Chains A and B, each alone.
Chain A
């Protein structure tokens, strides 16, 4: 979400209190990322090492390969480092 789309001080609850439980799902943290992991489906053998190593829960299991949830992936690169098939490349984010 772009900064200008977020609520301003007049509409936010005071004291930074969160009135709704489970609201962190709405808080997309993927915009911290400087590099994005890109999966090459052809190389992926679905071994799920990346799924195990991901310190968030940003690797999503599909039938035959994995996908990355960019809403939450912070681009740490652990998945790319651990992939035994070199199927994940870290690509610089463009503004």
Chain B
């Protein structure tokens, strides 16, 4: 076991270094900058054989990644916030052309007003772009999931890009002890990418041809199928990774759910705070639990239903707002997943932490208390609660 001190961003860069990536094309943006800054240092110091493409924008970064990925290369990029927004149209091209690119996203609020701190509004705005989305809780998970992301993306049943999301500043800039694998172990785990096709002058193919109403739909259906394959493939990836790293991963992580009557469901670093509060409340004999989704796209509907259906009340925490929608994006997905079940909890949505506003243990406790009250009364008075905003 080798423990090194790494921030979330550095942990991603370290994982990318060990993943023997052929091409990185990226543009720096806070709070992702350290991922590419650290990686460009590896390139400059000759520690990796990677071609580092300096580009003039995130739109160009993703365009270069698409081209590189089509040659059969293993490709990484990273971004956040406005950068992800600028990439938007190219995100669809990466997934539509089935490029297994891996992207680190240090989630950050979207302008206006401008803000550099962490919330999920950037990736949530791109949730339908056909990318697999993983959210991590700490630097260790950022490291582990970046390595696993390449294996998942490049699987022949998947062939889709993956974004590994870590909360801006909270994770991207906080140093933790990260248990890193030996280089050789990562190489053996990942192997070389085996593309289904490449753009090779010796064997010409056409990529990006016009697809009219008589064919377009079929290719979108293929992407749906690839997404449906993800949970099954991911189970194997997680299992194999457990074999080499000894750490357990899956589509979600449940805490206290064996006997919980109320629970919080959330993404990312908030899960740690929620678990600490849940532990305290459980000592006071409150039957509370926490569900953290590692996998958000594809949405692990079956696992979510199994984890939640016996609850009396559930709070879904969204660190992004979907203006004009009945709930935040995560809560809408949870409600949709539970919709067909006879047995299901009362659900309420908590919008929190926008623009990097802290969520403290006392805030989480407030949410649990509300959930316990709903479990007792069976009445949701406030379907969407705005946690920690001044009136």
Q: Give the B-binding residues of A (Cβ under 8 A).
A: 3, 6-9, 12-19, 21, 23
Which of these binds chain A: B140-148, B214-222, B239-247, B307-315?
A: B214-222
Residues of chain A lying within 8 A (CB to CB) of residue B196? 14
Q: Are the C-beta atoms of A9 and B211 separated by less than 8 Å?
A: no
Which residue of the partner chain, among B96, B204, B214, B225, contacts A16 with CB atoms under 8 Å? B96
Q: A3-B214, A6-B214, A19-B197 are in contact. Are A12 and B206 (CB under 8 A)?
A: no
Contact A16 B205 (CB under 8 A): no
Given the contacts A6-B214, A21-B204, A14 and B222 also touching, CB distance less than 8 Å: yes
Query: Can you pick out 15 interface pairs between chain A and chain B where the beta carbons lie within 8 Å of each other?
Result: A6-B215, A8-B218, A9-B219, A12-B218, A14-B196, A15-B159, A15-B219, A16-B207, A16-B208, A17-B205, A17-B207, A18-B205, A18-B207, A19-B197, A23-B206
Cβ-closest 6 pairs across A and B? A15-B98, A18-B206, A9-B218, A9-B221, A15-B97, A16-B219
User: How many contacting A-B pairs (Cβ < 8 A)?
Assistant: 51
Q: Which residues does chain B contribute within 8 Å of A21, judged by CB atoms?
A: 204-206
- Enumerate chain A residues within 8 angstroms of B209, measured Cβ to Cβ: 16, 18
Measured between C-beta atoms, what is the minimum distance from B213 to chain A in Å? 9
A15 touches B207 (CB 8 A): yes
Enumerate chain B residues within 8 angstroms of A13, measured Cβ to Cβ: 197
Q: Which residues of B contact A8 (CB under 8 A)?
A: 218
Measured CB to CB, the closest approach of chain A to B359, in angstroms, equals 40
Nearest A residue to B159 via CB reads A14
- In the assembled complex, the Cα of A19 lies from the Cα of B221 at a distance in Å of 19
Complex contact B197–A16 (CB within 8 A): no
Measured CB to CB, the closest approach of chain A to B195, in angstroms, equals 11
Contact residues in A for B219 (Cβ distance below 8 Å): 9, 12, 14-16
Residue on B nearest A16 in the bound complex, by CB: B219
Q: Which of B182-238 contact A (CB under 8 A)?
A: 196-197, 204-209, 211, 214-215, 218-219, 221-222, 225-226
B88-115 contact mask (Cβ, 8 Å, vs A): 1 or 0: 0000000011100000000000000000
Q: How far is the CB of B196 from chain A (nearest CB, A)?
A: 7
Residues of A within 8 A of B207 (CB): 15-18
Q: Which of A8, A15, A21 has the most CB of B within 10 A?
A: A15
Q: Which residue of chain B is the closest to A29 with respect to CB atoms? A: B212
In the assembled complex, the CB of A8 is this many whole angstroms from the nearest CB of chain B, namely: 6
Given the complex of chains A and B, what is the CA–CA distance between A81 and B159 in angstroms? 50
Q: How far is the CA of A73 from the CA of B214 in the complex (A)?
A: 18
Do A9 and B225 have beta carbons less than 8 Å apart? yes
Residues of B within 8 A of A19 (CB): 197, 205
Could you say which residues of chain B place their CB within 8 Å of the CB of A7?
A: 218
- In the bound assembly, the distance between CA atoms of A16 and B96 in angstroms comes to 8
A7 to B221, CA, bound (A): 13
Known: A12-B215, A15-B219, A16-B207. 12 other contacts (CB 8 A): A6-B214, A8-B218, A9-B218, A9-B222, A12-B219, A13-B197, A14-B219, A15-B159, A16-B97, A16-B219, A18-B206, A21-B206
B159 touches A16 (CB 8 A): no
Chain A neighbourhood of B218, CB < 8 A: 7-9, 12
CB distance from B65 to the nearest CB of A (A): 15
Closest to A6 in B: B214
With both beta carbons as reference points, the residue of chain A lying nearest to B99 in the complex is identified as A15
- Which chain B residue shows the least CB distance to A15? B98
User: How far, in whole Å, are A80 and B204 apart by their CA atoms in the complex?
Assistant: 39
Contacts of B222 in A (CB 8 A): 9, 12, 14
